[in-house]
Structure 1
Amino acid sequence: MYAFNPPPTVSVVICCYTMARWELLLDVIGSVRNQTMPPKEVIVVVDHNEDLYKRLVAVVDDVTLVESAGPRGLSGARNTGVGLADSDVVAFLDDDAQAAPDWLERLVVFYDDPDVLAVGGGVQPVWESGRPAYFGEELDWIVGCSHRGMPKVASEVRNVIGANMSFRLEVLRQVGGFNLALGRQGTKPLGCEETEICIRSIMGSPGSRIVYEPAAVVHHHVPASRGTVRYMLARSWSEGLSKAQVSEIVGHKRALGPERRYVRSILPRAVAAGIYGWSTGSNPQGLGRAAAVLAVLAFTSAGYLRGRRLGHVSTTQLSRTADQRAPWREVQ
């Protein structure tokens, strides 16, 4: 006879920090309530905003509300949620990323395989003012979304996308949680904390896998301010700085493998397609798209070189111990 293995239990963690996303946050919480596979618990972590916390307490009564026990920033807030989680799997949603009804169901199915440590899903942009003509889909990583060149079917990947990801709880605790020296802090567009923790997870469990399932969809709100050339270049610069930090922790080969393939394969095709479309008249905005790709590549590369040269975050600080990374030992 075959043994029946029940699906793993899931805690959903939603981190928030600003009142400006109030309506979006309520929509995100509502999308979790409407899942075809309900989570065991929903944990909303407020990142150092007392007014937002008080307003949530007055309005939302069917989730666990908590203020971040870590330093200001997304990594500290996520670690606070991990510390409170009491499930097999912890899934993370951004406060502006609304989940499709079958989101959790599609993520959780992969945990039947004990070698799977983490599963992430597709992130589709919802442009507040429409997609800018110069903003090609190969650059959607800039706004935290799935981009052209990513797998179209469930595949093994190096890392998942921060707006839509899940991990086994035991894995998060074994590696000490998210690195507090990485990740977005308010409006400061740094990142790569999910890249770093995925790499550390695999390093600690050889033969294990990270899976990307594009059918497990969330719809990520992209405000008009993030479609500007100014934000595009600022985010590219910050991505370079963040990748420099990660490469100091896990090594350059692990930190930059997929990026090298992206630069060698996806970006040249995007530039060529843009120039061709413009020259033939089939895409009048093609030249702008090609120019945007080249500018993003230049700013990202410059940010990476600047980060390597400055060494503004030391290897010792970045590679801090698990006790320093994870505040749940204080909140339990």
Structure 2
Amino acid sequence: MSAPADSAASAASPAFSVVICAYTEDRWEDILAAVSSVRAQSRPALETLLVVDHNEALRERLLKEYAQGEDREQGAGREHGAGREHGAGREHGAGREVRVLANAGPRGLSAGRNTGIAASRGEVVAFLDDDAVAERDWLRHFAEGYADPAVVAVGGRTVPVWASGRRPDWFPEEFDWVVGCTYRGLPPGRVRVRNVLGGNASFRREAFAAAGGFATGIGRDGDRRPLGGEETELCIRLSRARPGAVLLIDDRAVIHHRVPGPREHFAYFRTRTYAEGLSKALVARSVGAQKGLESERRYATRVLPAGVVRGLRDAVLARPGGAGRAGAIVAGVLSAAGGYVLGSVRARRSGVAFSPAPVGEGAHG
């Protein structure tokens, strides 16, 4: 009689594995802060998996960092006595396990995430960017979404932390996706969506069994290729594999994402929007333009024109940055459109096609 009760408890409160993909020692302090934010969750994670993308020096440094941390915790536990270690000590250690792994696939974020999925043990796999920190109730809000068995993915809200201390006057909120953040135009609250945003997202393990993992060849490769779209492609594939599947965004599940100085400049804005056009061409090639561009059509025909009007209105009212924001929206649209056209031509000429990357079952039984 205990097995059904255990299964019901697991369904109502699934165990979370958190995957953080890292690639450069330049983000050392950010990586440590990201891990610390997971370990401080009000709803503890089962484990944190740090997947290092073909950087042996970083992997060894992280192995040393978290091996030392584990040694310190074990020493503290011994000092507090065996009884406390067995009781309150166990609760104190909940969610503090950190595993450091090497990306087992080709260079890039998609393969790194697939490595984390395969090694994870939780019923739900959550993803956090290596230059972001999660608020204390991040996983708790994710878990609430999974109370509905039809829900297979839950994402959250990502807030920019500008290196300069404030948003550049010219930078439109409609384009916050350029810096990996939630943008104006997404509906508020807990809502059903086509796709979650990869740097602040979670999926049931069964989603990967149904649809496969992230497609390599789509998505970011460190700082060298600022592409995206891998989570969009996966979510569309998942919805096709599981027609009744529900994907949610809950804007209470908040992370704070650092925006470095160079990404506050228009040169990066232009490069990233162009790369997004290339990415959308790859996504459309993989899953078809109808689904691949479904949300983008509404964004381009409703959200962006409204943003231009707001910017021009602010300019008339002599508010800072109004004309710049309107101009940036127009420039971003043209740049993304140019990337999409070129990406589509390249994809047709090369005959490139993407298949879902298989992921192992990991240690989850």
Q: TM-score range by the shorter chain?
A: over 0.9
Q: What letter matches 2:214 in structure 1?
A: F
Q: Distance in 1 between matches of 2:39 and 2:120?
A: 17
1:21 aligns with 2:56: no
Mapped to 2, the partners of 1:235 and 1:203 lie a distance apart of 29
Aligned match of 2:195:
159
Give the structure 2 partner of residue 264 of structure 1.
301
Q: Return closer, same or farther for 1:328/1:312 CA change in 2, 3 Å cut-off.
A: farther
Report the secondary structure of 1:190's partner residue: coil
> Partners in 2 of 1:194 and 1:94 — Cα distance?
13
Letter in 2 for 1:18: T
Matched residue, 2:94: none
The match for 2:9 is: 5
SS of the counterpart of 1:5? helix
- The equivalent residue for 1:285 is 321
CA distance in 2, matches of 1:181, 1:314: 13
Cα contact 2:117–2:359 (8 A) shared by 1: no
Match of 2:42 among 36, 57, 62: 36
Is the CA contact 2:193–2:248 (under 8 Å) kept in the aligned structure 1?
yes
Q: Which residue of 2 aligns with 1:125?
A: 160
Q: CA deviation at 1:175?
A: 1.5
How much does 1:309 deviate?
A: 1.2
How much does 1:315 deviate?
5.3
- Whether the 8 Å CA contact 1:249–1:315 is kept in 2: the answer is no
2-side partners of 1:331 and 1:68: how far apart? 17
Q: What's 1:98 paired with?
A: 133
* Equivalent position amino acid for 1:304 in 2: Y
Q: Deviation at 1:17?
A: 0.3
**Hey, what's the Cα distance between the residues in 1 that align with 2:216 and 2:315?**
44
| Residue-by-residue CA offset, 1:66-116 (whole Å, 9 max, x unaligned) | 101010000010000000011110000010110000000000111111111
Unaligned residue ranges in structure 1 (runs of 5+):
none
Structure 1 residue 12, shift from structure 2 partner: 0.5
TM (norm. structure 1) is 0.94
The structure with the largest alpha-carbon Rg is 2
Percent of aligned pairs with the same amino acid = 44
In 2: Cα distance, 1:233 partner to 1:101 partner: 34
Q: Which runs of 4+ in 1 moved over 4 A?
A: 312-316, 329-332
Query: Which amino acid is the alignment partner of residue 64 of structure 2?
Result: A
User: Is residue 122–residue 217 contact of structure 1 (8 Å, CA) maintained in 2?
Assistant: yes
Distance 1:248 1:207 in 2: 24
How far apart are residue 5 of structure 1 and its match? 2.9
CA pair 121-23 structure 1, distance change in 2 beyond 3 A: same
SS at match of 1:273: helix
1:137 to 141, 161, 173: 173
What does the per-residue CA deviation read over 1:154-173, in whole Å, with 9 as the maximum and x for residues that have no partner?
00001111110000112113
SS at match of 1:72: coil
The alpha-carbon deviation at position 329 of structure 1 amounts to 7.6
Contact 2:285 2:347 in 1 (8 A): no
Label 1:148 to 1:330 Cα distance change in 2 as closer, same or farther (>3 A).
closer
| Equivalences for residues 196-207 of structure 1 within 5 A | 196-207=233-244
SS of aligned partner of 1:105: helix
Cα distance in 2 between the residues matched to 1:26 and 1:108 = 24
1:309 paired residue number? 345
SS in 1 for 2:313: helix
- After superposition, the C-alpha distances for 1:40-73 in whole angstroms (9 at most, x for unaligned) are 1111100100010011011113411110101000
Distance 1:166 1:314, change over 3 A: farther
The Cα of 1:330 is off from its aligned counterpart by 10
Q: What is the letter of the counterpart of residue 257 of structure 2?
A: H
Residues 242 and 112 (structure 1), Cα distance of their counterparts in 2 relative to 1, 3 Å cut: same
Contact preservation (8 Å) 1:69, 1:331: no
1:195 aligns with 2:232: yes
1:328 Cα offset (Å): 3.7
Q: Which residue is 2:106 aligned to? A: 71
Aligned residues of 1:123 and 1:218 also touching (Cα < 8 A)? yes
The aligned amino acid for 2:24 is T
Partners in 2 of 1:5 and 1:76 — Cα distance? 32
1:255-299: CA deviation from partner (whole Å, max 9, x where unpaired): 111111111111111111111111222x13211110000000000
1:216 aligned partner: 253
Structure 2 portions without partners, runs of 5+? 68-96
For 2:289 and 2:341, the matched residues in 1 are separated by: 12
TM-aligned CA distance change 1:216 to 1:265, over 3 Å: same
Query: Which whole-Å CA distance do the structure 2 matches of 1:57 and 1:326 have between them?
Result: 27
